[in-house]
């Protein structure tokens, strides 16, 4: 089940799974009228979910924290269907914080998230595609490869900072090969800025083969979304993280801080980001091969290669009634 305006409308049917959508909107930051409409839509969504579950009799309902997660999981709780939530962020989102005490199990990405959420916890990590775990440690050869991306649509502040840093990055030693996922809107401006870059570069709106791009990289500049950080850890890649400042509850800053404390990342605030600050951060790291290797090992130390199996084990234990006897399955 998903939101009628979410990415799931495109992605889920394309993978061959049936999808039921709910017309839902956010409450936080909305006007009084908007909050009333959203609350009414959520109440109607709970009723729709309950009617569907009475027909289909699901064995377990799993929420992942999106708009549709609250009504669907709440309907399952009311019908006494086994329930669990997956929290991807180190600072849990509002929906999952509200649901956690009401469900049978909560799967978390790290120990850091445990103290910030109620319920019965299992630290499982986040599922990551197998090819990220198969990536070798960074080469850190004579040239360095810098991978820059901001998600599938790019990150404007990172793109602008990279454009402003081109001249200084041209002088960085060892020489930098830059691979930059720009997003569609900024592709032209980023390409124009790189026209004066002294080294090799590749700038595209989107890369389909991100695991291969991670494998090339010695250092990554990116946002601090939960999946991105899990991929960094799986691949064992050091990073300069620029948390998205408008993320709900500033959860990306909390995500980034977890990696910084572990020694696998440097954090730059979006408000402080410009060409000189980004160029300095990149130069400091690429010029210190030992530090890059240490950060790479720290990142790999945070990886949880069996996260998908651990989550499936929790669901299986719920369906078979064994979870009460299991202390942990992660």
**In terms of Cα–Cα distance, which of 108, 34, 44, 109 is closest to 70?**
44
Q: Report the C-alpha gap between 216 and 203 in whole angstroms.
A: 15
SS3 202: strand
- Look at residue 93 in the predicted model and tell me its pLDDT: 85
Phi first, then psi: give them for residue 268, nearest 5 degrees. -115, 125
**DSSP assignment string, 127-142:** ---HHHHTPPPP---S
Q: Report the C-alpha gap between 252 and 258 in whole angstroms.
A: 10
Which segments of the chain have a pLDDT < 70? 25-35, 151-154, 324-330
- Look at residue 27 in the predicted model and tell me its pLDDT: 59
- Look at residue 34 in the predicted model and tell me its pLDDT: 65
- DSSP letter for 265, please: E
Bridge partners (DSSP) of residue 204 are 181
Task: Give residue-wise pLDDT tens across range 10-68.
Answer: 889 999 999 998 887 665 656 666 667 777 878 888 999 999 999 999 999 999 987 88
- Look at residue 326 in the predicted model and tell me its pLDDT: 42
CATH of 131-301, one of 3.40.50.2000, 3.40.50.261, 3.30.1330.30, 3.30.70.100: 3.40.50.2000
Q: Report the C-alpha gap between 131 and 211 in whole angstroms.
A: 6
**In terms of Cα–Cα distance, which of 205, 252, 251, 242 is closest to 221?**
242
SS3 272: helix
- Look at residue 325 in the predicted model and tell me its pLDDT: 43
Q: Computed over its alpha carbons, how large is the radius of gyration of the chain?
A: 21
- Look at residue 227 in the predicted model and tell me its pLDDT: 93
- Look at residue 4 in the predicted model and tell me its pLDDT: 82
Question: Is residue 238 within 8 Å of 300, Cβ to Cβ?
Answer: no
Question: Is residue 199 within 8 Å of 176, Cβ to Cβ?
Answer: yes
pTM for the complete prediction? Answer: 0.87
- Look at residue 3 in the predicted model and tell me its pLDDT: 83
Q: Report the C-alpha gap between 90 and 228 in whole angstroms.
A: 13
Question: Is residue 121 within 8 Å of 329, Cβ to Cβ?
Answer: no
Where are the domains positioned within the chain?
82-126+305-330, 131-301
- The helix/strand count (H/E) of the chain reads as 14, 12
Q: Report the C-alpha gap between 52 and 47 in whole angstroms.
A: 9
Question: Is residue 266 within 8 Å of 241, Cβ to Cβ?
Answer: yes
């Amino acid at each position: 089940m998903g939101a009628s305006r979410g990415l799931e409308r495109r992605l889920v049917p394309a993978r061959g799974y049936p999808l039921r959508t709910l017309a839902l909107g956010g409450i936080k930051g909305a006007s009084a009228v908007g909050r009333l409409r959203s609350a009414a839509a959520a109440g109607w969504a709970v009723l729709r979910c309950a009617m569907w579950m009475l027909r289909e009799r699901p064995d377990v309902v799993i929420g992942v924290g999106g708009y549709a997660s609250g009504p669907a999981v709440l309907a399952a709780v009311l019908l006494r269907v086994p329930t669990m939530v997956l929290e991807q962020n180190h600072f849990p989102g509002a929906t999952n914080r509200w649901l956690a005490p009401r469900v049978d199990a909560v799967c978390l990405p790290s120990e850091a998230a445990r103290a910030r959420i109620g319920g019965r916890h299992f630290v499982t990590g986040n599922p990551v595609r197998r090819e990220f775990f198969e990536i070798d440690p960074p080469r850190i050869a004579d040239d360095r490869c810098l991978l820059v991306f901001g998600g599938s649509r790019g990150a404007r502040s990172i793109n602008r900072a990279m454009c402003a840093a081109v001249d200084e990055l041209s002088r960085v030693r060892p020489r930098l090969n830059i691979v930059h996922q720009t997003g569609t809107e900024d592709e032209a401006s980023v390409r124009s800025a790189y026209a004066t870059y002294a080294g090799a570069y590749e700038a595209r709106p989107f890369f389909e083969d991100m695991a291969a791009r991670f494998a090339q990289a010695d250092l990554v500049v990116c946002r601090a979304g939960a999946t991105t950080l899990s991929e960094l850890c799986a691949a064992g890649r050091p990073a300069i993280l620029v948390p998205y400042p408008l993320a709900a509850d500033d959860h990306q800053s909390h995500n980034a801080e977890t990696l910084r404390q572990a020694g696998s990342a440097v954090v730059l605030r979006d408000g402080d980001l410009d060409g000189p600050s980004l160029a300095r951060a990149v130069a400091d790291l690429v010029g210190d091969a030992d530090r890059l290797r240490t950060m790479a090992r720290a990142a790999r130390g945070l990886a949880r290669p069996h996260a998908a199996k651990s989550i499936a084990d929790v669901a299986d234990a719920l369906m078979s009634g064994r979870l009460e006897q299991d202390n942990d399955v992660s």
